[in-house]
Amino acid sequence: MELTETQRQELAEAEAQRHETRRPVSAGLEQILFRPIPVLDHGFVRVVDYMGDDSAVVQAARVSYGRGTKAANEDRGLIRYLLRHRHSTPFEMCEIKYHVKLPIFVARQWIRHRMANVNEYSARYSILDREFYLPAEDQLAAQSAVNRQGRGHVLQGEEAARVLDLLREDATRNYDHYLEMLNEDADGRVIDEGRQGLARELARMNLTLNAYTQWYWKSDLHNLLNFLSLRADAHAQYEIRVYAEAMLDTVKAWVPLVHEAFRDYRMGAVTLSSQMLAVVRGMLDGNPPEQAASGLSKREWRELMAILGREA
C-alpha cells in the first residue's frame, strides 16, 4: 500500500493535533491513531476516532461515577464475567470509527452486517482510483469439492498465471473504458473537448468488483466483536478475514482486557448443543454413545469429534 503525497500530508497534520480532554483515553490506541494498517495489495484499515476504554465497560456495568475500580484484576474479572455470560449492553458504551479501503466485492460482503454507521466514497461524484485487487498466487484456489462457499487446492503454474492475466486484463480494460465513457482522466481533466462524457453515476457500472472503494465505518464495541467473531474466524473468506484480523489488533490496543476475554470466550471457545453435551458427559462416564443413538446428525457428529480431537 502506497500513500499519495496528499495523503501523507493529511496524516502528518492529523498526528500533529493535540487536544486536552477529561475523557478516558486509551494509551495503546493513541499510539496507532490515524495510521493506516496495510491490508491486501492496496487496502488499509485505520482508526480515526473512538470513545471509551476498558474502564468504560466496567463503569457502565456498575453504573458508577468513576472509571472502574482501583484494582485492575477486579475490572478484568468483571469484563470476563460480562463477556462469558453475554451481557452485551456495557460493551455498547464504547465506540470506534474506522477508515477502510477495500475491494468492492469485499465491501458488499461486509455490508451484510447491518450493525454499523457507514459512509462510502461516492463514485457518483468522484472518479475511482486505478487500483484493483489481484490475489497473491497462494490465494488462487479452485472451488472446494465439499464446501460451496470455500476454496480447494491452489492453482499452479500456467493455470495460475492465466487467471492472474485475465483478472489484470479485465480490470485494466474496464477501467480504461470507464475513463473513456467519462471523457475524463483519473485526475478529472476532460480528455476530448469535442464530446460529452457519460454521467459518473452511470459510467461506474462498468468497473470490475476488484476495484477499490473506501468508507468510514463506525460501530459500538459489542457489535464490532460480533463482526470479528465471524470474519476473523478461520472459515471466513481470506479477503475479508485479513481486514478483521487487522481490526482485531486495534481492539487489542484499544481495550486489552476486553480483547483478552474475547479471545478466550469467543475466538478460542466452542458452543455445544444439549445433545453434544450429553455425548461429552457420556464419554466422561465411560459410556460414549454411538452417532446413531446420540441425536446428532452425521455432520454434527463429525464436528463434535473434530472439536474433541477424535476420529469421527
Q: What residues form DSSP beta bridges with 47?
A: 98
Q: Where are the beta strands (DSSP E) in 233-290?
A: none
The CA distance from 75 to 140, in Å, is 45
Element (H, E) at 120: strand 117-120
Q: Is 231 a catalytic residue?
A: yes
Enumerate residues 6+ apart whose C-beta is below 8 A from 252: 28, 259
The alpha carbon dihedral of 104, 109, 112, 116 has a sign of: negative
The CA distance from 302 to 283, in Å, is 15
Pairing of strands 95-103, 117-120: unpaired
Catalytic residue of the set 231, 241, 266, 310 = 231
Phi, psi (degrees; rounded to nearest 5) at 208: -80, 160
- The answer to whether the beta carbons of residues 95 and 249 sit under 8 Å apart is no
Alpha-helical runs (H) found in 17-71 = 27-32, 54-62
- The answer to whether the beta carbons of residues 239 and 39 sit under 8 Å apart is no
The four Cα atoms 85, 89, 90, 95 give a dihedral, to 10 degrees, of 130
The four Cα atoms 283, 288, 293, 297 give a dihedral, to 10 degrees, of 60
DSSP 184: B
Which residues are known catalytic residues? 231
